[in-house]
Structure 1
């Protein structure tokens, strides 16, 4: 079963700003109904929804709270219909600042758990909330957001990378279990993005180094990442599931 992007209702978690906002914008430009989830960024989320028009709206929920997610899905359903596509982009508070990161001798389990609670726990709550709808219609798309630090931990952000690694594992096991329901589950992994709130702390010299090492000669943008997310939601990816697509201009291969 395939459906055009313009026929889909899409929930993007953590979409009030940064990469999430770029993903929401890309879906809206292709005619989808877009639910912009936010935790704290109400002003930004509502402003984005107003910019995107009547087929977009902002919905508040902490994705680590199963009850809040269930309530949010009910609100989205009343407004647009139950989401057919989940893009799990929400990120626990994090700054890509190599100088300020926790080294192994300082790292606490609480730091890893905080990242995993949003990356992994948020994916779980959202998938569980949407699974009955996916099963009823025999169709669904789940896209998670990963990182190319799996392949090349050029800066060892231990907590962030470990949480995203666990999310990749869940992406693949969920693909196995949800496949018979007509649901595909895939991950899009970027590297350093130019620019999001999380990467604003990155020194300009680092952006230049990454660009110089990348075959395409520039640092990937949020809009370029969003294009790959659209692919996994589109009919063109109907036979693709359990995959991790790296979108970083060729910085990392494999």
Structure 2
């Protein structure tokens, strides 16, 4: 399945533009996020949130089709562009604050999405895309017409037949946080699943907030880790 091709385009929508190659510009993304993750400031160091349009498949999945105000949520969308980096930074911060807490060895944490290659990256991409779709469905408001529109937007991204069928299955599958969590292939994958879900949900919607809390429990993320992941979203998208 060409999942990373589709996911890369969604990530580019989060950044408000497309690269010439149509893929994820890892070097530019790393440079963009680098000083923020180190606590620095400066011109060109952050994501240009003013350019975030929330359009296309991303805007549909994140709920703009239901008339939500884009403003504050648009600030969160940019976090999708560096989901692996942000999740890893959250882990580092959490580890520093919880030195006495037993944690899996570094080698067992798993690599960030942006560092994976080949099949490993494709598998992680499926996990991320599945989390995004489930979060988009969390408030139960995707009706038949909205699903058709969303399907059209996703088709514009060029999924192959196998991926297209898989995406349709995700719309029909039960919202099951435990099933989603079982697909996580590492602690890093769990953090990435949570962070993209946190980007997707509306904190003011009780059903969506409840979904995020269920997911944290299913992923075995304690309150401190979940809070750190959500904090990284705010750091990455700070204007």
Fold agreement, TM-score > 0.5: no
Between 1 and 2, higher relative CO (CA 8 Å, sep ≥ 6) is seen in 2
TM-score (norm 2): 0.28
Q: From the two aligned structures, give the one with the greater helix fraction.
A: 2
| TM-score, normalising length: structure 1 | 0.27
